[in-house]
Structure 1
């Protein structure tokens, strides 16, 4: 028997033994024949919850499920969050490189959770398990100590090197302009074309998606072409005038409509 035949025979035996010895069903998505519901443990259920939330299938949720607190903390503090952020930012950069740039081209970035990390805040509030407290969060914002999200900062610098102009479009209100400018610069974001903050009077009663869509419409009326639009919330990148392409960064800690 030649060597090729030996290898084939050994491989066949290994595959056969694994199949007969494994409890894995060949059709794992089939309904159970006994009619019972499968109750998944948190280590299985929580990644499914995050997938549904990140894909915008599960919406309008208020807090991270209590049983997923440890999972979300591990995701945020581990390598996966950074790797996911890197991958999304890379795709934005690759897209930017692929198009012919015009002088009026801009990339829009959201701020909190996109360029400035609010993980230091959420790490003290259950990584999203605790209900959102606007007063406490605003007090943290006013400290101006939010660090940069490293992968977004790298992408930001790459886009600048390609000649794109940057617009920051944030749900922070206009009274936080000075602290936001200072925090952005301290974190490494030194150059931008516009920093757009929310006027609570003009947008009274409107949600984040409506506000951001209206501000993007103003940009296009001013003659800007929105090439890319990057945010950690679906409300950052949905609605009208979203741009040529949108890029959704991961954030399983909260949902903003």
Structure 2
């Protein structure tokens, strides 16, 4: 019988600081190469649950490098994790640490104190989609994904919605920076609003010139534009390391759990 999943550990990473438009950005942790990793799937003597929990930790901490699918033997483990109480609890802990940090920020009356959110598995959960697509055990299908996005039915992550609203009340300008394409703007905006999000300062999507650019570079370039406009990026929330690393990084970056897919 498989053992119950072990406690997942997620890093809350101080990746750099942004002070003004002339600041130089030198992240503490470098993004790894995007070489596809081959994960050893040999049986663990302590059972499938132990192996899958260890693989989960390696993926979340970026020790697994680039990967395309969860190990097939871990389907039940990740189904249990994503649909049980553990995932919601992990997200809530990250949100609480985020809010604790935000409360220490000395807000400036110039209105340039900013916080950046990714969308998928950061503001919205696509769990209904991944429940029909193996919780990450299937190879990503862009056509199926685009059909799901067009439905605009992804629900909010409750703890992220609470954090989002609290940050707005504190006076942070919210920028939503996503890897979704510009052609999905209407569906994306509709989904965010239906899920309860409103009042963002900017919704930034990939344009035609961004196609093929790695997420780390694309998001760094977009953050750099904000910094050059005078914004101080105090916090950044995302489910992928590519949401958080690179240049023009936030003073504090907060990594949400996502064991279902990896974006370099």
Number of equivalenced pairs: 220
Alignment match of 2:75 (pick from 53, 69, 74): 69
Runs of at least 4 residues of structure 1 off by over 2 A?
37-40
Alignment match of 1:211 (pick from 186, 206, 218): 218
Alignment match of 1:104 (pick from 91, 112, 128): 112
Deviations 1:163-200 (A, max 9, x none): 1110000000001111111111110001100000001x
Give me the CA root mean square deviation.
Answer: 1.1
CA distance in 2, matches of 1:39, 1:131: 28
CA distance in 2, matches of 1:67, 1:38: 11
Cα distance 1:38–1:232, how it changes in 2: closer, same or farther (>3 A)? closer
Q: What's the CA shift for 1:204? A: 3.0
Cα distance 1:136–1:225, how it changes in 2: closer, same or farther (>3 A)? same
Q: Map 1:85-234 to 2 at 5 A.
A: 85-102=91-108, 103-199=111-207, 201-234=208-241
Q: Say whether the 8 Å CA contact 2:136–2:261 is kept in structure 1.
A: yes
Residue matched to 1:238: 245
TM-score (norm 1): 0.84
Q: Say whether the 8 Å CA contact 2:44–2:51 is kept in structure 1.
A: no
Deviations 1:198-237 (A, max 9, x none): 01x3123211111101100011011111010000011000
Q: Give structure 1 stretches of 5+ with no counterpart.
A: 1-36
Residue matched to 1:55: 61
TM-score (norm 2): 0.82
Residue matched to 2:48: 42
Report the 3-state secondary structure (helix = DSSP H, G, I; strand = E; otherwise coil) of the residue aligned with 2:73. helix
**Greater relative contact order structure (CA < 8 Å, 6+ sep):** 2
Deviations 1:91-132 (A, max 9, x none): 111100012012201110000111011111001001000110
Residue matched to 2:28: none
Q: Give structure 2 stretches of 5+ with no counterpart.
A: 1-42
CA distance in 1, matches of 2:128, 2:242: 23
Q: What's the CA shift for 1:38? A: 6.0
Report the 3-state secondary structure (helix = DSSP H, G, I; strand = E; otherwise coil) of the residue aligned with 2:190. helix
